[in-house]
Structure 1
Amino acid sequence: MTRVIHTGDTHIGYSQYHSPVRRQDFLDAFEAVVDDAVDGGVDAVVHAGDLFHDRRPDLQDLMGTISVLRRLDDAGIPFLAVVGNHESTRGGQWLDLFERLGLATRLGDEPVVVGDTAFYGLDHVPVSRRDDLDYAFADHDADYAALVAHGLFEPFGYADWDTETVLTESDVAFDAMLLGDNHTPDTAEVADTWVTYPGSTERASASEREGRGYNLVVFDADTAGGDDRVEIRRRALDTRPFVFVSVELREGEGESRVRERVREFDLAEAVVHVEITGEGDPVTPAAVEEFATDEGALIARVVDRREVDADGEVDVSFADPEDAVRDRLDEMALSTAARDVERTVREDTVSDANVRETVKRRVEERVDGDGDLDAFDAVEAGGDGAESDADGDEWDGGGAEPNGDASEPTEPNTEPEAAEPEDSDPASTDGQVSMEDYL
């Protein structure tokens, strides 16, 4: 029998709503998973990608992650992982650094056996490169086998990866696919194989309303019962509370009614989302947000969805103006390459002096390096051109957009390409570090 915790999409370093408290929440959630692993004496922690939110995490996020991983190492629990699209770099991966430190094992096409289960890995691969994959994995002699992968797989929402193709073309008969990328937890059976997402460990978006958690996966025919060889159980995490307040204003009702409705909830240290609809009087979002924070909320965000002057629906977040920019971009038929350029211009991690050179380099990488000319084709508004927002992240303009890093990740199980050139001015990284500093 082999018992593992299956987690992923921890997005350490994400300053959601530009809040340092929320940034710490993401690291705390990962630490809570490790606490459960140590307390429960599991055989391994399996991470399905996007350990970090950004391919250039700040030093404080790296140090915090290393500290948590050392707890696992001290307990003799291996950390097995793959690389997600958010953290992927064109050179060595942060996961490689942790492996050199003896704190992690990067899964690939060779089996890593824990207990009586062989684990394999498949890093995130862009859609344009998947036709070249042969899903060739080395043999194993363990009782069970699991593939850990990062991507949007069928039959789950926003899928762009054929799960049955992976399973039927693979050289190994997998008992389970342990996935990451989709922040919604779910489990299904495909080609007699259990396929599951644990969801994100913290809410990276207001759309992630249900509680956060991870999977406890047991490989044991006797435990699973019946014809099954795998048992998957959901475990909850105690994370930052989100409070959702819906207010439908009738004619003559206004801000006082909104405040009255907000008072009905426990706002203590919560992230509060207020949605206003109806036919009532105008409401000043900033005033409601200030009222909610005075009532104890950590962060308050107000969206007024009512029509104003026949100009259509209004959906503006005064707490996070980046949301309004992202919504406008979703309405435009921008190509993947165009979104890449737009991201680069607004990235917190690229100094103004380096924007022109960074944009030039990234376009050249697509044309000369990958030959990915499809990335320059316009896409349907709200479609896949943003490399998919299926994981529900609220991209804050810094670093990588959800499901779409500015540079596409390295092919899995291949030698990494040359590392990205660093900015000539060390201060331009704004406290962030690159793989070249370590590898």
Structure 2
Amino acid sequence: MTRVIHTGDTHIGYRQYHSSVRRRDFLEAFEAVVSDAIESDVAAVVHAGDLFHDRRPDLPDLLGTLSALRRLDDAGIPFLAIVGNHESTRHGQWIDLFERLGLATRLDDAPTVVGDVAFYGLDHVPASRRDDLEYAFDPHQADHAALVAHGLFEPFAHADWDTETVLAESDVDFDALLLGDNHEPGQATVRDTWVTYPGSTERASASEREGRGYNLITFADDVDIRRRALETRPFVFVDVELRDGEGAPRVREQLRQHDLTDAVVIVEVTGSGEPVTPAAIEEAAVEDGALIARVTDRREIDDEADVDVSFADPDDAVRERLADLDPSPAAMDVDEAVRSETIADSAVRSTVTDRIEERLEDGDLTAATSSAAPPEGTEAAAGTTPEPATDAAADGPNAADASGDGHASVETDDQDSMETDDQASMETDDQASMETDDQASMETDDQASMEEFR
């Protein structure tokens, strides 16, 4: 029998709502998982990606993570991990640094055996590159096998990765897929294999109303998956439906019915009633003891003029145009990075550069040109290299997104997910802060890079 903790999406370093207290909360949630692992004497802690919220975590977050990993090491508990989309860098991964320090093991296509379980790893792979994946893994002699992967897998919400394809094409029979990326916990079976998400360890958006936790998994005659709760920063959700004639006093009355002490307070106003000034409600909540308060007024404003206006979906328009142009795989990589919801504005330029450099280093020169033959007499036909895209072109679409209400709570490379029912959650204030927060955190004085640790 082998018992492990399965966790992920810890997002250490996330300054949610631009709050240093919230940033500390994310580290403390990871520390709580480590404490539970030591107390329960598990065989390993398995992390399914997005250990950090950013590819360049600040020094205090790095030091805090190192301290937690040393506690695991002192207890003789291995830390097995893969790389998620938030923390991925081009020239080296933080988990590789921790591995060199003897504090972690980065999972890959070779088995890492703990007890009677062989663990394998599959880092996050952009959707545009998955068709080229070969699910080839080295053989093992253990009683059980588990694949740890980061992505949005079927049959869960917002899925863009076919789980059946992974299991069918893999040359290892897995007993379980231990996943990360979806912040909501879930369990299912696909082709007689357990597929499970532990959810995030802290609430990364206001749409994550359920409590946070992790999975405790036992491999014996069968696979037993149990969820354990974490005690995290309290979130108080106050939903107020106003009637005609009601306004701010009614909202404040509803707030007084809750204990707001040190909580993140999320107020959602619906119905009719009088106009409500969010700033005044937020200030009142903080005066009553809240750490942070955010108010979203979802009521529709009636205009006297009846104007019929319709808008085309810009993503649909882009996809149709791309289909006409028949772009190369490299161009599709660039397009995905520029329009992705999961890449902050500040990281678009470096992400595009990394992806192009990777293709050039791999010798994939044909991927850098369109699959359609260029017309004779053009610069491409003459063998000249086209000029790279300008910074403005790289930042353009995401810069436009930054002026909106934010992104969906569960991040995905698939732009179609923006058309789902999660559009409501896209309007939450904290999701908008996830983009701007990434940019702000990269400008701090104590920021660290992989090069500084080499």
TM-score for the superposition, normalised by structure 2:
0.76
- Paired residue secondary structure (1:184): coil
Shift in Å, 1:275: 0.8
Would the alpha carbon gap of residues 242 and 129 (structure 1) be closer, same or farther in structure 2, given more than 3 Å must change?
same
Structure 2 distance, partners of 1:9, 1:396, is 14
Q: Structure 2 unaligned segments of length 5 or more: list them.
A: 306-311, 319-334, 372-392, 398-406
Which position in structure 2 is the counterpart of 1:252?
245
Give the alignment partner of residue 300 of structure 1, picking from 274, 293, 296: 293
Amino acid in structure 1 at the alignment position of 2:256: R
Shift in Å, 1:336: 3.1
Shift in Å, 1:165: 1.1
Which position in structure 1 is the counterpart of 2:173?
173
Shift in Å, 1:386: 5.2
Q: Give the number of equivalent residue pairs.
A: 380
Is 1:125 aligned to 2:125, yes or no? yes
Q: How does 1:387-402 map to 2 (within 5 A)?
A: 394=431, 396-398=434-436
Which position in structure 2 is the counterpart of 1:284?
277
Amino acid in structure 2 at the alignment position of 1:434: S
Q: How does 1:278-427 map to 2 (within 5 A)?
A: 278-310=271-303, 332-333=314-315, 336-339=336-339, 346-347=345-346, 361=353, 371=367, 394=431, 396-398=434-436
Which position in structure 2 is the counterpart of 1:434?
449
Deviations 1:61-103 (A, max 9, x none): 1001000000000000000000000000011100000000000
Shift in Å, 1:310: 2.6
Structure 2 distance, partners of 1:25, 1:122, is 28
Q: How does 1:128-277 map to 2 (within 5 A)?
A: 128-221=128-221, 229-277=222-270
Would the alpha carbon gap of residues 74 and 18 (structure 1) be closer, same or farther in structure 2, given more than 3 Å must change?
same
Shift in Å, 1:253: 1.1
Shift in Å, 1:244: 0.8
Structure 2 distance, partners of 1:359, 1:46, is 27
Structure 1 distance, partners of 2:304, 2:179, is 43
Q: How does 1:35-74 map to 2 (within 5 A)?
A: 35-74=35-74
Structure 2 distance, partners of 1:35, 1:343, is 32
Shift in Å, 1:13: 0.3
Q: Structure 1 unaligned segments of length 5 or more: list them.
A: 222-228, 313-329, 402-426
- Paired residue secondary structure (2:63): helix
Deviations 1:380-400 (A, max 9, x none): x98955596889982522476
Give the number of the structure whose residues are more often helix, by fraction: 2
Q: 2:217·2:226 contact (CA, 8 Å) conserved in 1?
A: yes
Decide which moves more: 388-397 or 253-262.
388-397
Would the alpha carbon gap of residues 360 and 114 (structure 1) be closer, same or farther in structure 2, given more than 3 Å must change?
closer
- Paired residue secondary structure (1:45): strand
Q: Percent identity?
A: 66
Shift in Å, 1:282: 1.0
Shift in Å, 1:438: 1.9
- Over alpha carbons, which structure has the higher Rg? 2
Amino acid in structure 2 at the alignment position of 1:205: S
Shift in Å, 1:343: 6.4
Which position in structure 1 is the counterpart of 2:327?
none
Would the alpha carbon gap of residues 113 and 367 (structure 1) be closer, same or farther in structure 2, given more than 3 Å must change?
closer
Which position in structure 2 is the counterpart of 1:27?
27
Structure 1 distance, partners of 2:201, 2:258, is 24
Deviations 1:394-419 (A, max 9, x none): 25224769xxxxxxxxxxxxxxxxxx
Which position in structure 1 is the counterpart of 2:110?
110
RMSD of the TM alignment (CA)? Answer: 3.3
Structure 2 distance, partners of 1:51, 1:40, is 21
Which position in structure 2 is the counterpart of 1:405?
none
Would the alpha carbon gap of residues 114 and 205 (structure 1) be closer, same or farther in structure 2, given more than 3 Å must change?
same
Would the alpha carbon gap of residues 38 and 61 (structure 1) be closer, same or farther in structure 2, given more than 3 Å must change?
same
Deviations 1:323-368 (A, max 9, x none): xxxxxxx975375344369966x53xx8xxxx9x869846965996
Would the alpha carbon gap of residues 340 and 251 (structure 1) be closer, same or farther in structure 2, given more than 3 Å must change?
closer
Shift in Å, 1:431: 2.8
Would the alpha carbon gap of residues 31 and 277 (structure 1) be closer, same or farther in structure 2, given more than 3 Å must change?
same
Deviations 1:160-199 (A, max 9, x none): 1111111111111111110000011000011111110000
- Paired residue secondary structure (2:200): coil
Shift in Å, 1:265: 0.8
Would the alpha carbon gap of residues 160 and 341 (structure 1) be closer, same or farther in structure 2, given more than 3 Å must change?
closer
Amino acid in structure 2 at the alignment position of 1:397: E
Would the alpha carbon gap of residues 77 and 387 (structure 1) be closer, same or farther in structure 2, given more than 3 Å must change?
farther
Structure 1 distance, partners of 2:33, 2:69, is 11
Decide which moves more: 281-290 or 334-343.
334-343
Structure 2 distance, partners of 1:269, 1:366, is 46
Would the alpha carbon gap of residues 212 and 311 (structure 1) be closer, same or farther in structure 2, given more than 3 Å must change?
farther
